[in-house]
Chains A and B, each alone.
Chain A
């Protein structure tokens, strides 16, 4: 079973535009992480936000967390072709276990 659900499932944007994707989860968490995966390769960690944080930035990435709504969002600003990938949120619903959502596939058009 999957803890998180991403929305939308797929997103197509023009280079230079912003991309926003959302993640909802079911149980209480200590932290939420976002990962990127290019074409069926390994996942790359993007950012970790703790349950007592509301917003976090890393370069062109902005993550928000609303624990009352059990939701998070990932914003990629000024998108580039290299941002084309699948993005996953993941939560620590259980000790030593990362639970992933279904992912959002982002396509950045030149």
Chain B
């Protein structure tokens, strides 16, 4: 099976702009999670979607939003970009097994740089 894919891989934006990142999960996986990774804060959970419903959300401002489509593909959007939004954004998919959190399969990430 193909792994989790994320597009684009690299992105440079300026403050105030908005950005949309895309994630295609492993075929058959219906849960998609997003994480932000920075040197200072480490890996922080953004949100999780299952069957187009957000089931949990991390402690991020409303500028960060996401959605999931009927084919399980997911997008996240960051509006009014700030310098501190520069980070590696990781998407992960999983096949629900009944656990609170299942094994996550990560994509390569999108490196966002805000100038």
CB distance from B41 to the nearest CB of A (A): 8
Q: What are the interface flags for A92-107 relative to B under an 8 Å C-beta threshold, 1 for contact and 0 otherwise?
A: 1011111111110000
B103 at the interface (CB under 8 A from A): yes
Chain B contact residues (Cβ within 8 angstroms of A): what range? 20 to 34
Q: Name the residue on A nearest B50 (C-beta).
A: A96
Tell me if B42 and A92 are in contact (CB < 8 A). no
Interface string of A66-102 (1 = CB under 8 A from B): 0000000000000000000000100010111111111
Would you call B42 and A45 a contact (CB within 8 A)? no
Known interface pairs A43-B104, A44-B106. Does A97 touch B45 (Cβ–Cβ under 8 Å)?
yes
How many A-B residue pairs lie within 8 Å, measured between CB atoms? 73
Q: Is B107 an interface residue (CB 8 A)?
A: yes
B31-54 interface with A by 8 A CB criterion: 31, 33, 35, 42-43, 45, 48, 50
Taking CB as reference atom, which chain A residue is nearest B6?
A42
Closest to A33 in B: B103
